[in-house]
Amino acid sequence: MKPLKNNVNQGAQMNQQAKRLAVVGECMLELHECENDTFCMGYAGDVYNVAVYFSHIAGDTLDVDFITAVGTDRYSNAMMDEWRKHGVRARHARRIDDRMAGLYLIETDEIGERDFHYYRSEAAARHMFDGEEGAVLLNQLAKYDYVYFSGITLAILHNECRDKFLAKLAELKNCGVIICFDTNYRSKLWPSREVAQTFFNLAMSFVDIALPSFTDINHLFGDTDLASCADRFLEAGAKKVILTDGDKSYMIATADKQTLHPVTAVSAVDTTGAGDSFNGAYIAAIMQGDSDEVACEKAATLAGEVVQHRGAIIY
């Protein structure tokens, strides 16, 4: 599939007045199943995937930076080169000498659902906000119009870094930065469900745009219907909730109304990048001035294309 760029001057320098998005999290080495029982390597991670799809949709009309940390090994170098190819900037990414990039393996079943196996104990991103350099990195977030993070971002940060990040989110929200949160709950990354609930509840109190999946919230909090799931985020303080329910539908919810929209069925090969592509396209469209309805239509269309390919990133 060809990139969906909107820019007409592909090599042009980014407009300095463009709205700016920071995505906070981790990029990892990805191993996914190929033909003949072999594995192919790529680079992926939930917020990184969002940044890639955002960049391909927005082109030169918007600016996206990846806030993270990587090692100084050759895989980290190759990873950063790949980011740049996709138009994802890494102006503030930390390099940590004694750390490296994390790795995960995806197993995909016959209907396209996937299971993840993580190897990230030495991952640099877990320590991105450590020390003086970490404080500098946190302070860079105030330069952005939108900040995007996920439940995986919260899960991979060690305790002190997580606390610093959440405190910064509260500060950013008070300064008018738009905070976007994708739930992406992965039980394997948390010591217990109760610990995850504690940090999700805290994070939800800082969020302007909530991007939960119904599956995540059902597994984490036990909500059994879309309306109660959306209400959870609205009551916590979100201005709007874009709630996805797999290949069935999505809901647009605000304090005034909730509207449910069906999704066109496709033959899924791999659902790895579905939610990330949806969110990247949605945020790009919103930042370009589209309504929630139009932005979600664009997002659902892209997600439907992505699940018909293997791997999280189809470009």
In the 8-state DSSP scheme, what is residue 26? -
Residue pair 277/49 in contact by the 8 Å Cβ criterion: yes
Backbone Cα Rg of the chain: 18
Q: Is 245 a catalytic residue?
A: no
Kind plus residue range of the DSSP H or E element containing 182: strand 178-182
Q: Which of 65, 256, 276, 292 is catalytic?
A: 276
Give the integer Cα–Cα distance in Å for 112 and 310. Answer: 9
Give the integer Cα–Cα distance in Å for 290 and 313. Answer: 24
**Residue in the block written with tokens 């239509």:** 297
Residue pair 33/312 in contact by the 8 Å Cβ criterion: no
Residue pair 183/212 in contact by the 8 Å Cβ criterion: yes
Q: How far is CA 252 from CA 80, 118, 161, 295, 297, in A?
A: 35, 32, 32, 11, 11
- Nearest Cα residue to 165 out of 2, 51, 25, 277: 25
Give the integer Cα–Cα distance in Å for 50 and 287. Answer: 14
Beta bridge partners of 240: 209, 254
Q: Which residues are catalytic?
A: 276
